[in-house]
Amino acid sequence: MEEKYQHLEGSGGMAQALEKEKSRRKRSIWIVVASVVGILVLVAVAVIAWYFSTHKNNGSNGSGGNPGKSGDSTGNNTPNDGSDPSIFELDSRLHKSFYGMAYTPEGSQLPNCGNSLENVIKDIQILSQLTTRVRLYGADCNQSALVLEAIKQTKVDMQVFLGNYPIPDDNTPYERQRDIIKEALQTYGADHVAGVTVGNEFMLNYLTGQGVQDPNGIIGQQGAAILKANIEDTRQMIDGLQLSKHIPVGNSDAGSFFSNSVLTDVEYGMSNVHAWFANTTAEGAAPWVFQFFDENNVQPAALLPNKPKMYIAETGWPTKSSDAGNANNGGSDASVPNLQVFIDNFVCQANSNNVGYFFFEYFDEQWKDAMFGGVEGWWGLFNADRTLKDITIPDCPAP
Ligand SMILES: *[C@@H]1O[C@H](CO)[C@@H](O)[C@H](O)[C@H]1NC(C)=O
Ligand SMILES: *[C@@H]1O[C@H](CO)[C@@H](O)[C@H](O)[C@H]1NC(C)=O
Ligand SMILES: *[C@@H]1O[C@H](CO)[C@@H](O)[C@H](O)[C@H]1NC(C)=O
């Protein structure tokens, strides 16, 4: 540039040189302006590219998934190569329409545990697109810690009701699970824990084991005393941890087997309400569930001094039976279309009526089929391999 100017000056008059100088300056200004604009455009493109690469699952779909994570704990951005559990593809067929979901991680039965964090992470990624709450039944095989670890790594919006599954004649399983739950609470804190449920169908098993029915009779009182001691012990364990938030202690049982004495000791009750076993039709199932739950659980609980909050712990419809004899309950078949009928009649109505429920269940459980046969292993929305059954998930956001 400088050299060219020298040359121009030497070959023309002063006025001409000034003109050249003006136009040169103009050109220089435009070059500077163009360069600045160019740099700004490049910066903007880079920022937009960065935004989309790091907010991959956080778009306008709003149905769950990555809650806005933009890098790992070291501040580096992480590609969606499966190494970061908080970055995962959303399934457009799923909607957060379920108040809660019943869930047992695959391989969580003693003595052959076999569950894995990898599988639980997969489940929590899927479950987080359906609900913000899961309930566990027991604590064996480290399932409490696995689920809390999976929630931590996926960073999803999820609360878990931990479970302790005691049995009538031996307090060892209760104590073992209490200690596992304690360790999980110490490790993960209370942020994602909505409650600890002590007992699952304990009274049902205790009473039927002795050939009686009445949870408030003499034998019922004996069973209740065992459960109440465990509930009190769990509450003391939780109090001793001085966690950042209060964790309620509850109890879960079959809908007709709640002991008033037990309910008086808990903050919530979870009731299994199964139209299938009441032999309703698929069409009649949802109205039956609402009525049964209200009459047998909600209204009686409201009369107790502590007014425990009542949830439906399990409700659903099986999609097949492993034997022909159980393929129909007298009202309707166990089938995928009938599961759809039940979902369509139950889910959105429960949501708008503020019925808290845990849909039964997330996926088919092969161990249950092997152990019990019939319809027991076939209640999943998903098959055992985590593929969605041929159903349509309703789109009505759960409360
Ligand atoms: C929302 O989900 C649909 C279906 O999966 C997908 O095609 C679309 O790109 C998604 N939009 C955003 C903004 O993520
Ligand atoms: C499971 O339990 C053990 C010991 O009880 C613990 O050290 C481990 O980290 C737990 N959590 C997971 C997610 O495996
Ligand atoms: C439902 O039908 C089965 C088979 O007929 C029967 O054993 C069972 O008692 C019935 N249950 C109810 C609640 O009516």
Q: Is the pLDDT of residue 239 over 90?
A: yes
pLDDT-derived band at 67, boundaries 50, 70, 90: very low
Residue 83 lies in a domain: no
> Which pLDDT does position 72 carry in this prediction?
38
Q: 268 and 315 share a domain? A: yes
| Amino acid (one-letter) located at 148 | L
Distances (CA, A) of 331 to 254, 285, 327, 335: 21, 10, 11, 12
Tens digits of residue pLDDT in 82-103: 789 999 999 999 999 999 999 9
**d(CA 329, ligand 3 centre) in Å:** 7
Per-residue burial over 137-162, b if 16 or more Cβ lie within 10 Å, else e, is: bbbbbbbbbbbbbbbbbbbbebbbbb
Rounded Cα–Cα distance for residues 320 and 342 (Å): 14
Q: 313 and 366 share a domain? A: yes
Rounded Cα–Cα distance for residues 223 and 51 (Å): 58
Tens digits of residue pLDDT in 290-336: 999 999 999 999 999 999 999 999 999 999 999 999 999 999 999 99
Average pLDDT, integer, range 229-245? 97
**6 exposure class (CB count in 10 Å sphere: 0-12, 13-18, 19+):** exposed
Q: What is the CA radius of gyration of the chain?
A: 30
Q: 45 and 190 share a domain? A: no
**278 exposure class (CB count in 10 Å sphere: 0-12, 13-18, 19+):** middle
Which of 266, 270, 272, 254 has its CA nearest to residue 305? 266
Per DSSP, 358 falls in state: E
CB atoms within 10 A of CB 50: 12
Tens digits of residue pLDDT in 343-397: 999 999 999 999 999 999 999 999 999 999 999 999 999 999 999 999 999 999 9
Strand partners for 102: 135
The atom of ligand 2 lying closest to the CA of 146 is 13
Q: 50 and 130 share a domain? A: no
Residue 314 lies in a domain: yes
Q: How many domains does the chain fold into? A: 2
Q: Are 255 and 293 in contact (CB under 8 A)?
A: yes
Residue 262 lies in a domain: yes
Residue 386 lies in a domain: no
Q: 12 and 99 share a domain? A: no
> Which pLDDT does position 88 carry in this prediction?
96
Q: 209 and 342 share a domain? A: yes
* Ligand 3 pocket, residues with Cβ under 6 angstroms: 278-279, 330
Tens digits of residue pLDDT in 99-146: 999 999 999 999 989 999 999 999 999 999 999 999 999 999 999 999
pLDDT-derived band at 22, boundaries 50, 70, 90: low
> Which pLDDT does position 31 carry in this prediction?
75
The atom of ligand 1 lying closest to the CA of 90 is 5
Look up the CATH number of the domain holding residue 153.
3.20.20.80
Among 53, 57, 61, which residue has the most ligand 1 atoms within 8 Å of its CB, making it the best to mutate?
Answer: 61
Residues annotated as part of the active site:
201, 314
> Which pLDDT does position 146 carry in this prediction?
98
Residue 217 lies in a domain: yes
**d(CA 325, ligand 3 centre) in Å:** 12
Alpha helices in the chain (DSSP H): 2-11, 14-54, 117-127, 143-154, 172-188, 202-209, 218-241, 260-263, 282-293, 299-302, 336-352, 366-372
| Residue whose CA lies nearest to ligand 1 atom number 10 | 61
Domain extent at residue 43 = 2-55
Tokens 């209204």 label which residue? 299
**d(CA 85, ligand 3 centre) in Å:** 45
Q: 120 and 241 share a domain? A: yes
Residue 66 lies in a domain: no
Residue 398 lies in a domain: no
Q: 303 and 247 share a domain? A: yes
pLDDT-derived band at 29, boundaries 50, 70, 90: confident
Q: 227 and 365 share a domain? A: yes
pLDDT-derived band at 45, boundaries 50, 70, 90: confident
Q: 31 and 159 share a domain? A: no
**d(CA 73, ligand 2 centre) in Å:** 21
- The reported pTM is 0.79
Residue 253 lies in a domain: yes
Minimum-distance ligand to the CA of 255?
A: 3
Q: Are 269 and 288 in contact (CB under 8 A)?
A: no
User: Which residues have C-beta within 8 Å of that of residue 104, sequence separation ≥ 6?
Assistant: 136, 137, 138, 143, 361, 365
Q: 27 and 159 share a domain? A: no
> Which pLDDT does position 8 carry in this prediction?
42
Q: 133 and 232 share a domain? A: yes
Rounded Cα–Cα distance for residues 104 and 371 (Å): 15
